[in-house]
Amino acid sequence: MKINFSSTSSKRERVMGVKSFVVKLLPFAAMVAVETFDVGLTTLNKAAMSKGLSHFVFVVYANVIASLILLPSYFIIFRRKGPPLTFSFLCKVFLLSLVGITLMQNCVSTGINYSSPTLGSAMGNLIPAFTFLLAALFRMEKLNLRSLISQVKILGTLVSISGALIVILYKGPAIGAVPQPHSSSLPAETATNDWVIGGIFLATASLSIAILNVSQARGNFMP
């Protein structure tokens, strides 16, 4: 009985190729899952606030639940690998949490309350742009205007900021809305002002996340 070694090796190569493709696909699938959960959470946040829930109460509940879940994991998983809980380390974590978590969550909730989850999801695209600007400001990102990579980064930043400005300053009619020519323009002006205010809060939230990312990289705060 002859064994076909070439067919066996080809099957192994196919299996290894499939595994390699799946491994490369996992980061993209994780990013899509994160964005999906983020949109779902934003929509639930808007629905809860529309029924009278204060965004301050929502932020408190979210942080309490997160603390109950994540704090025990530090002592269980990272007890030996993580850094010691010194006063200096706790102060750094407090400042990062204040700027990157508490401020961000309050700005996001307030912005969504003034606008909509659609604007909240769209304004999230400002995070890479703000992060790039802060990294370039603190000389963590090397800029070479003659380099194609730097040109692409600058162009992407300009496109992100321009798109955010367009989304904030222009609010079109609702999909499926029936036009009413005899209605007063005062409610429309109020809705537009609320939309702009919500966009400003959401942009501030994106800036706070960018400050969190740059601070972690610059200060080496993470374990």
Per-residue model confidence as pLDDT tens digits over 73-131: 777 776 666 667 778 878 888 888 888 888 888 898 888 888 888 888 888 888 888 98
Within a domain: residue 143? yes
Residue 35 lies in a domain: no
**Domain-located, residue 3:** no
Round to the nearest angstrom and report the end-to-end CA distance of the chain. 58
Q: Is 8 contained in some domain?
A: no
Residue 70 lies in a domain: yes
Residue 54 falls inside a structural domain? yes
7 lies in a domain?
no
Cβ distance 35 to 125 under 8 Å?
Answer: no
Residues in Cβ contact with 74 at an 8 Å cutoff, skipping those fewer than 6 apart: 82
- Asked if residues 107 and 201 have their Cβ atoms less than 8 Å apart, the reply is yes
Domain span including residue 120: 42-174+184-219
| pLDDT number for residue 201 | 92
Whether residue 109 lies inside any domain: the answer is yes
Q: How many distinct structural domains can be found in the chain? A: 1
**pTM exceeds 0.85, yes or no:** no
Q: What pLDDT, on the 0 to 100 scale, is given for residue 223?
A: 45
The 10s digit of each residue's pLDDT in 40-71 is 888 888 888 888 888 888 888 888 888 888 87
